[in-house]
Amino acid sequence: MGKELEKNYDPKAIENKLYEKWLNKKYFSAKVDKKKKPFTIVMPPPNITGKLHMGHALDNTLQDILIRFKRMQGFEALWIPGTDHASISTEVKVINKLKDQGIDKRELGREGFLKATWEWKEEYGNTITSQLKKIGSSCDWDRERFTMDEGCSKAVEKVFVNLYNRGYIYKGSRIINWCPVCQTSISDAEVEHEEQAGHFWHIKYPIVGTDEFVEIATTRPETLLGDSAVAVHPEDERYQHLIGKKVMLPLVNKEIPVVADTYVDKEFGTGVVKITPAHDPNDFEVGKRHNLPEINVMNDDATINERGGKYAGMDRYEARKAMVADLDALGLLVKVEDHTHNVGTHDRCKTTVEPLIKQQWFVKMEELAKPAIEALKNGDLEFIPDRFDKTYLHWLENIRDWCISRQLWWGHRIPAYYCDKCGEIVIAKESERPTVCPKCGHDHLTQDEDTLDTWFSSALWPFSTLGWPENTEELDYFYPTDVLVTGYDIIFFWVIRMVFSGYEHMKQVPFHKVLIHGLVRDSEGRKMSKSLGNGIDPLEVIDSYGADALRLTLITGNAPGNDMRFYHERVEASRNFANKVWNASRFIMMNIEKAEVSDTIDLSTLTQADKWILSKVNTLAKDVTDNLDKFELGIAVQKIYDFIWEEFCDWYIEMVKPRLYNDEDETKAAVLWTLKTVLINSLKLLHPYMPFVTEEIFCTLQDKEESIMISSWPEFKEEWNFEADEEAVEIIKTAVKGIRNVRSEMNVPPSKKATVIVVSESEKVRTIFEDSKVFFATLGYASEVKIQANNEGISPDAVSTVIQDATIYMPFAELVDIEKEIERLEKEKARLEGELNRVKGMLSNERFVSKAPQAKIDEEKAKLEKYANMMEQVVERLNHFKA
């Protein structure tokens, strides 16, 4: 062989070197090959503003494991990487950078700002992709995409035009999420709901023409200025007489109607609710049903507008205080109750989102959602775990029209053009930009200022990345993709949009399976966040422990859909495992160096121990493949880990050392072949999880294949299935464990050898021990192994351990020096006598008993009982030895 591993495993010395090798050799590249079956994953595109965090590390490690597994299985495995332009967060980053330079976005103008943003993207936008390479992501980097590259932009334009022409896209006034700081509409995905302490303000609304009033309770009294009605349930007997009457809107002194609507919950609050169609999505729907006016009382910066009378110009919270004070002064404030409720905030700037009615572009969702619902029900789409089916269906079956316009400059500009003369709207691609109004012939049209929601482009990701709208051979071969890996926090928004987009534009599901993973939390179970300061940088972990250790830690114990906790101790354990694999491999290679190891062997020359470990790794390949096919990645790696550490290193290597060290042993060729074969198969099974250490060992161990990455995945072989030998060695292992337990209880050091006598009436069991005598003696610390059918000649003081169909004996005198043991027991007896006298003295002392806390007295009584039991055992053993 000539090559050997360094004495110590150093991830820093190999990881970058190996990744460069993989890139240069184009191992990650996939091409259309009709002779092979394709397997495709598209990477959820991280934002260009981002840097690698633990969520990314987990998400991409899971994808990398799957793609490496399938690549080794012989699939044409394509993993498409890419990044998202992230409209809002990128625009905020660039605005802040310009501010630092004393430049205002508006001064630059749209073109100047976009030029500055593209420059920012070139400088910082590739940070996360370079970091993804550090964890070993085996993406086809030659196919890397960006949601605003030329191809994706063409796809976005085509989709907008097609959906508009089919009547699915319209412009209208509806309630949207509005961020008063970023001054844009935002999607549901960008709204974080958090519990906040607030209040219920109970307010009287006088009934016109009577002395009566109704009492309403609201968490947002400032929106009272935009009330169009109050509503009661049509079957609520308390308020039947009020339906159709009017109430006087406090502070505004305007009459508004009382309407009956089933939206009202009779049991909640007072059973009367204020209806503010322009400031609440549910009220908006009620307003449509009753033809109520939509009165927006807020400016874009969340100050009260000119409709607010004396409160105009006030910030929303300032107006709230002033209005509550005025209501109180008028005797219309009944009470104020503390109330904790969920408040939507913008995930970027943490500002409380304001539901506002605005003229925006929307996608009609009801019809588009139907095929996405059917996909899950007919099995074309599958969630892992399937408990997310309910969530997916709940969102689709209750879906609202999707607001797709954003008041931003960075993003795909809406391809809508307005005639400056007659207002006609023309929808067209950039390449077909209208120069003349088709309605009035006017030659000046202005493009819509807004851009599209970032999710509009990422909804097309599974097919736009493969060349759509062009009919490419990649699209035909690699689509639909096989699996999407994503966190449960974005399932509703991104997954749903990709599914309905796939059906609408490709007429088929975009992926067959969706593997959902949870969050990576800190060791206390808290979500990692900047505010808590508990984030852990994956790159720092890689720097200290290596990428393989990080990857193994993220996957060990990981179950689909469940959150996991991140402990540094677990990373150390993962690094220790890498060291174990490295050191075991070095040991095996050092022994292989001394002899020629054939690539083939007559299996009949293998010993029972060889057949056992070969059969074990054979079964492991079958089990791990089955687990990976079911996306049980955490279960699979635990099996690999346990096999390598326990069965292979702690048992098999120890079993065969006497044969390795004995040049006369005729089974040496068999053991060397077995060691090399089992190690190679173990490395292959481990490779998707720990790509770097396995590649370095594999390429040093053998020279038949140039990389483990493109080697073949281990498959179950019937000729390696040795069930009888597995059963036999498991019997030996049970016996060894029993011997070690007995010796441990007696504090016998491993260096102290003793005769081991195996007694069994079963000839089969005696034969098993006879065939395994050499390694059984080594593992059982035996000076001699005797195998017999009965107890004849066994000393009555011999200690024993019982296993199925056999008893293992060891002469006591060989385990323990009786004179020394008597001396030790005499000392222990004297110590216990002292402890007993002390405790008895305390408990017979009336002063102590009368003044000491009961807990202390109980503690001393427990000690008395413990020392008395120990003394009884010591005396019994002394009597036995002195007899």
Contact assessment for residue 350 and residue 193, using Cβ atoms and an 8 Å cutoff: no
Helix (H, G, I), strand (E, B) or coil at 250: coil
Residue 542: Cβ-neighbour burial (10 angstroms; 0-12, 13-18, 19+): buried
As a whole number of angstroms, the distance between CA 332 and CA 204 comes to 5
The percent helix, strand, coil of the chain (3-state, each to 5) is 50, 20, 30
Q: Which residues pair with 257 in a beta bridge?
A: 246
Cα gap 459→484, rounded to integer Å:
13
Least Cα distance to 130 among 48, 224, 206, 61 occurs for 48
Name the residue with tokens 């019982």. 802
The string over 474-512, giving b where at least 16 C-beta atoms fall within 10 Å of a residue's C-beta and e elsewhere, is: bbebbbbbbbbbbbbeebbbbbbbbbbbbbbbbeebbbb
Residue matched to tokens 């959906």: 163
Angstrom CA distances, 182 to 87, 95, 349, 687, 809, stand at 11, 11, 8, 46, 80
Task: Give the residue from 279, 148, 278, 270 showing the smallest Cα distance to 217.
Answer: 270
**Residues 338 and 197 sit within 8 Å (Cβ to Cβ):** yes
For residue 694, with 0-12 CB atoms within 10 Å meaning exposed, 13-18 middle and 19 or more buried, which class applies?
buried
Measured CA to CA in angstroms, residue 682 lies from 11, 18, 65, 697, 864 at distances of 20, 20, 15, 11, 54
Amino acid letter for position 557 = G
530 is in an annotated binding site: yes
Helix (H, G, I), strand (E, B) or coil at 85: coil
Transcribe 787-856 into DSSP letters: EESS-TT--TT-EEEEETTEEEEE-HHHHS-HHHHHHHHHHHHHHHHHHHHHHHHHHT-HHHHHHS-HHH
Q: What is the SS3 assignment for 761?
A: coil
Contact residues for 459 (Cβ-Cβ < 8 A; gap 6+): 494, 497, 498, 500, 501
The residue type of 291 is N
Three-class HEC string of 624-691: HHHHHHCCCHHHHHHHHHHHHHHHHHHHHHHHHHHHHCCCCCCCHHHHHHHHHHHHHHHHHHHCCCCH
Would you say 456 and 143 are in contact if contact means Cβ atoms under 8 Å apart?
no
**Which residues, 6 or more positions from 78, have their beta carbon under 8 angstroms from its beta carbon?**
30, 38, 39, 40, 41, 140, 143, 478
How far apart CA 393 and CA 209 sit, in angstroms, is 49
DSSP state of 703: S
User: Which DSSP state fits 492?
Assistant: I
- Binding-site residues for ATP, in ranges, read 530
- Binding-site residues, in ranges, read 530
